[in-house]
Chains A and B, each alone.
Chain A
Amino acid sequence: MERLSSPAELEKVRKSIVSKRDAKKPCITVCSGTGCHAFGCEKVSTAFQNEIKRLGLEEKVDVRTTGCHGFCERGPLVVIRPRDIFYQRVSADDAAEIISETVLKNNVIDRLLYADPNTGKKVVHEHEVPFYAGQKRFVFGNNGYIDPSSIDDYLAVGGYAALGKVLSGIKPEAVIEEIKKSGLRGRGGGGFPTGIKWESCRNAPSEDSVRYIICNADEGDPGAYMDRSLLEGNPHSVLEGMLIGAYAIGGHEGYVYVRHEYPLAVKNVRLAIKQAEEYGLLGKNILGSGFDFSIRINRGGGAFICGESSALMASLEGKVGEPRAKYIHTVEKGLWEKPTTLNNVETWANVPLIINQGADWYTKTGTANSKGTKIFSLVGKVNNTGLVEVPMGITLKEIIYDIGGGIPGGKKFKAVQTGGPSGGVIPDSLINLPVDFDELTKSGSMMGSGGMIVMDEDNCMVDIAKYFIGFLEGESCGKCVPCREGLKRMREILDGISEGRGKEGDIELLERLSTTLTDGALCALGSTAPNPVLSTIRYFRDEYEAHIKEKRCPAGVCKELITYQIIKEKCPGCGLCIKSCPSEAITSGGKKQPVILDQEKCIKCGACYDVCKLGAVKVS
C-alpha cells in the first residue's frame, strides 16, 4: 500500500474499498470478544469458514471475525448481516445449518434465537433484543461490524474521516474548542473535562516543544473489560482519537500503556499501528499535512496502581510504578517532565465521533454536565451479563432491568456497586438514580471506569466491603502511610466484624480511618479506597450492627456467623448433599429419612445448600 498523501486521497481509497463491497452480500459476523472466546467462538468461526469453502461459496458469502458485541452472557454470538439475524449460544455444529438454512434460504433457525426471559418471546433481529434495544452504541457499535485486523474494514465504516477532516485545515485550537464544546469528560474515572486538559497541555511551556500523548489502557478493576474490548475490537478508533489529540496539543510521540494480560489487545493494536503507518496515517507528514506523529506500545506488568496517571508515567519511564503528588499537573510536567496528555481508551475512542458529527450533535445525548454515552461492564447478579453502552442520564433501573433483564432466580435486588473497587454501593432506594458523573458521586459512589456489579439479597455488605478493601490493600503501592497501614487496619477491623469479633466503636474507627485516607492519602487510589466502606455504612449500617451486636450475618454469608441446618420435614434423604459435602459432615439418616449434619465437621462451604432443590437446607 502506498502512503496516502492527502485527505482527498484517503477519501478516494475509502470510496474504492466501499465500491468493491456489495452491501447486500450476506456476511456472517462471529463475535470474537473475550466472553465469546471463553465459549469457544474460534471453533465456530473455523466451522463457518470450512463449510463455505466446502460449498465453494467464498465469492458469495463473507465470514467476519469481529470484536466484542457486548452480550457476553449469550455467547458465542453470530449475526447474519445485512439482515441482522441474531443467533446466540452458537456452536460449531450449527454452522452448516446456518449457512444452508439462513444464508442460502433465508429461513430463521428458531432454536438459536434469543428468547426474552420475561415474556418468552423469540427475537429475530439484533436491534430488537432488549439487551441492545436500550443502548446507544455510538462508540462500541462498530465492534460488531468490523474485523479488528483489517484497516479496510475501519475505513469502510468511515474510519480516519475525522483525522482527514482536522488535517484539511482545522486549526488545533479549533479542535480543542470543539472537544471543549462537546463536554467530553475523562472516561477513566476522574471525569475531568478533556478539552480543558488538552488546552492546558497545549499552553504549557515546553523548552523543546516536546509534548506527549498517552492512552491509558491499564484497565484493572475486577470484572471490568470495556477498554479491553474496545482495543481488541476497534483499535483504529483509539489510534484515530490519539492522532487528533496529538494534533490538537502539538505532540508528536504517543504511547499506549496496555496490560500485558491483554494479549489480543496488544496484538490488535500493534497490527493497527503497523497498518496505519503503511497507509501514512501515522508517521511523518501524515496525509501530506506536515504533521508527524508516532505511537509506541508499552506493556504494563499488571499492577493496579499503574492505572493512576503519575504511576503509569513512572512505569513508562522505566521506574517503579508509584504515584507522585500532582500539585504540578502532568499536563505541565508529566512523562519525562514534559507536558503530557493522558486519556483513557474510551475517551480517545469518543474523539473521532465528536469531530465527525460535531459537538452540537454530541451534546444532544446526556445530562447537563455529563455528555455522550458511557460503556459499562454489567456483571454480577444480573440476567444479561455483558458490556453495555448507554446514554448518560439513563437510570440504574433501566440498565439493570430493561437492558440487564433483572435479577436471576427471582431474587431481590439489593445494591449495585459502581466505579470499580474504590467505588461505592448504591442501594435499592436509589434505583431511579440517573447515571452520570455528578449523580454517582453524590450518592457516595463514582463513575470510575465503568464497572457495574449487581448484588442481590444473598450478598452481605460487610463481606463486599471486606472484599474490596482486601483488593485495594493488595494493590496499594505502600508509599504513603494512610494507604499502606490504614487499609491493612481497615481490613483487620472488617475481618473481625465478619468473624464475630466486632465491637462497639468499630464503625466509628472505620469512619475515622476512612477520613484519614480520603484527606491524607497521596494518590486517588488511597483517597477513594474508603468508598466501599463508607457507602456500605451509609446505606447498610443495620447490617454492620447486626454483625457487631447480634453476631449475625443477615445475608447468610459470613461463615463464622452462620450455621447450615437440615429442615427435617423437607428432607426425603435423597443423599445429593451427602455426595456434594467435601468434609463428610452429612451422613444418611436411614432410608427415606432426613440426613444428619454434623456441625463439628461442617466447614460452611454451602455445597449442600446449593445442591438441594427441595429447600431442605437452611442458613441461619
Chain B
Amino acid sequence: MVKLTIDGREFQAEEEKTILEVASENGIHIPTLCYHEEVSPYGACRLCMVEVTRKGRKRLVASCLYPVAEGLVVRTETPEVNNIRRTVIELLLARCPDSEVVQEMAHDLGVDKPIFSLEEDNHKCILCALCTRVCQEVVGVSAITLVNRGVDRQMATPFYDFSEVCIGCGSCSFVCPTRAISFEDVGDTRVLTMPHVTMEFKLKKCSKCGKYWAPERQLEYIAKTAGIAPEAFDICPDCRD
C-alpha cells in the first residue's frame, strides 16, 4: 500500500492501481472517454490528464495509465490540465459535432461553440479504441481493428467488409462512448451498424416461446469456448427453469 494525495485529500492505495482507479473509487471525478474498467488502459483521449508531483518534479500525466506511488501529490484540475481538456473536447467536437456525449462533455468543460470547422460525415467515432479492445481482450475474437495512420485512422472490419470472425455480440456497441456503433434486432436478424460497415447476423429462435433471442454465431462461439453443448441454447433464458 502507498500513501498519496489527490486534490488535497490523503488516500491509501494498492501499488498496482492507477490514479484514475483510486480517484473514481473515492468519488473524485476525472473526465475520460477512452477508459473502461474491463479493458486495458490506452491513454488516447487525454481528457484524464492530471498534474502529479513526485520527488519535487511536477508533470502532466494520463491518470488512466499512471501508477500510484508513495508520496505522490495529484491535482485533478489546474489551468494547464483544463487547457488540455478544453482543447481536446474542442477538437473532438469539430470531429464529431453530432455526438451528444461529446456535446455534453464540451458543455461541462465550458465549451459552447466549436472553434474549428466541423467535419462532415463524422460517424460519431472518436477513435478511442474501446470497441477494438473489448473485442480483442474480452470477447477474444478481434473482429474489428483500427486501420490506417494519423488523420486517416479508422475503426474498421477487414477490408471494410463483413468480418468473418465477428459473432455479432454487440460488445463493441455496449462500450462505445459516443454511440458510433449500434445494433438493432429486426425479426430474425441482428443489424450491427458501424461507422464504415453494416453487418447482419441470423438470430436463434427459442424452441419454446419462438422469440429470436441471440445471434447464432455468438451462441456457437460461447458453446465452443465454454465447452457447452450447443443444444443448451435451444431455449432462451426466459424459458429456462
- Whether B149 lies near A303 (C-beta < 8 A) is yes
> Which of B87-95, B161-169, B179-187 participates in binding chain A?
B87-95
B221 within 8 Å of A (CB atoms): no
Complex CA gap A513/B91 in Å reads: 10
A residues in contact with B92, CB < 8 Å: 481, 485
- Whether A484 lies near B150 (C-beta < 8 A) is yes
Interface residues on B, range: 20 to 34
A479 within 8 Å of B (CB atoms): yes
- Whether A512 lies near B151 (C-beta < 8 A) is no
Residue of A324, A492, A515, A520 ringed by the most chain B CB atoms within 10 A: A520
Complex CA gap A513/B95 in Å reads: 15
Report the nearest A residue to B148, measured CB to CB: A478
Report the nearest B residue to A521, measured CB to CB: B46
Across the interface, A482 reaches (CB within 8 A) one of B61, B66, B91, namely: B91
Known: A480-B44, A519-B80, A520-B49. A488 touches B151 (CB 8 A): yes
- Whether A481 lies near B91 (C-beta < 8 A) is yes
Known: A482-B91, A513-B87, A520-B49. A325 touches B65 (CB 8 A): yes
B residues in contact with A519, CB < 8 Å: 49, 60, 80, 83-84
A474 within 8 Å of B (CB atoms): yes
Chain A binding surface, main DSSP class: helix
List which B136-166 residues lie within 8 A (CB) of chain A: 146, 148-153
- Whether B84 lies near A482 (C-beta < 8 A) is yes
Q: Tell me, rounded to whole Å, the shortest Cβ–Cβ distance linking A441 to chain B.
A: 16
- Whether A328 lies near B67 (C-beta < 8 A) is yes
Complex CA gap A478/B125 in Å reads: 13
Across the interface, B88 reaches (CB within 8 A) one of A474, A476, A520, namely: A520
Report the nearest B residue to A326, measured CB to CB: B65
List which A484-518 residues lie within 8 A (CB) of chain B: 484-489, 492, 509, 512-513, 515-516
B residues in contact with A476, CB < 8 Å: 149-151
- Whether A516 lies near B83 (C-beta < 8 A) is yes
B2 within 8 Å of A (CB atoms): no
A residues in contact with B116, CB < 8 Å: 489, 492
B117 within 8 Å of A (CB atoms): yes
Other than the given A325-B43, A478-B146, A480-B46, 18 more pairs (CB < 8 A) read A327-B65, A478-B152, A479-B42, A482-B87, A484-B127, A484-B151, A484-B153, A485-B91, A487-B151, A489-B91, A515-B80, A515-B83, A519-B49, A519-B83, A519-B84, A520-B84, A521-B46, A522-B44
A residues with CB within 8 A of B = 303, 305, 320, 324-325, 327-328, 473-482, 484-489, 492, 509, 512-513, 515-516, 519-522
22 example contacts (A-B, Cβ-Cβ < 8 A) are as follows: A325-B61, A325-B62, A325-B65, A325-B66, A327-B67, A480-B45, A481-B46, A481-B91, A484-B150, A485-B95, A486-B87, A486-B91, A488-B151, A489-B91, A512-B83, A515-B80, A515-B83, A516-B87, A519-B49, A519-B80, A520-B87, A521-B46
